[in-house]
Amino acid sequence: MSKRDLKKYLTELNKEQLEEQIIELYEKFSPVKVYYNFVFNPKEETLLQECKLKISNEYYPVKKTGRRSKPKMRRSVAQKYIKHFILLGVDPFIIADVMLYNIEIAQTFSSEHLIKQELFFKSMFNSFEQAVIFLIANGIINDFKTRIISIHNQSIKQKWHNEPEFNAIIERLEY
C-alpha cells in the first residue's frame, strides 16, 4: 500500500475507527508502543543515563557474584542505542553526547589496557567519523568541538596506529 492509498483510507474512517486502529497498533506492535510512550513521556535524561551505563558496562562490567566479568568492548551496543534514539526523534545534542561518550569510554579503557585487536581501532574510527558527520548534519559541530579535539588528542597520546585517519578528519574541520 502506498502512502497516498493509506491517506485515502484514513480519510474514509471516522474518529472512533481511527482511535480503534491506533489502539490496536499500540497493543500489537512493540515499536508503536515504544514510540507513543516516548512521545508522551520523553524522559530523555533517563534514557541517556541508562544508555551510558550499558555502554560503560561493555568496558567496565559490573562484577557478578564470585567471578569477574570480562569486558566485551562491543561497539554494536552503542550503535543500537544511537539508531533507536534517532528513530524516536531524541534531541540531536543527546545523540551526539552518546556518540562521543562511546568513543571516550573506549579510549579510557584503552589507556589502561593493551588492545591488540585491529577491529577495535577501526571501529572507534568509524564511530568518530559517524559522530562528526552527524554533528555537521545537525549544525552542532561547534558545541562539541572540544570533545572531538580531545578524542583526537587521545588517539595521538595513546599512539593509535590509525591516528592519521583521525587527523585527516580534524584537518577538514579546521577553517
Q: How confident is the model at residue 37 (pLDDT cuts 50, 70, 90)?
A: confident
Judged against a pLDDT cut of 60, whether residue 21 lies above it is answered with: yes
Tell me which long-range contacts 131-137 makes (C-beta under 8 A, separation of at least 24).
131/96, 131/99, 131/100, 131/103, 132/169, 132/173, 134/92, 134/95, 134/96, 134/99, 135/96
- Among 175, 140, 170, smallest CA distance to 152 is for 170
**Residues whose CB is less than 8 angstroms from the CB of residue 157 and which lie 6 or more positions away in sequence, other chains included:** 111
Read off the pLDDT of residues 90-126 as tens digits, 9 standing for 90 and up: 999 999 999 999 999 999 999 999 999 999 999 999 9
Judged against a pLDDT cut of 90, whether residue 63 lies above it is answered with: no
pTM for the full predicted model: 0.81
Read off the pLDDT of residues 147-166 as tens digits, 9 standing for 90 and up: 999 999 999 999 999 999 99
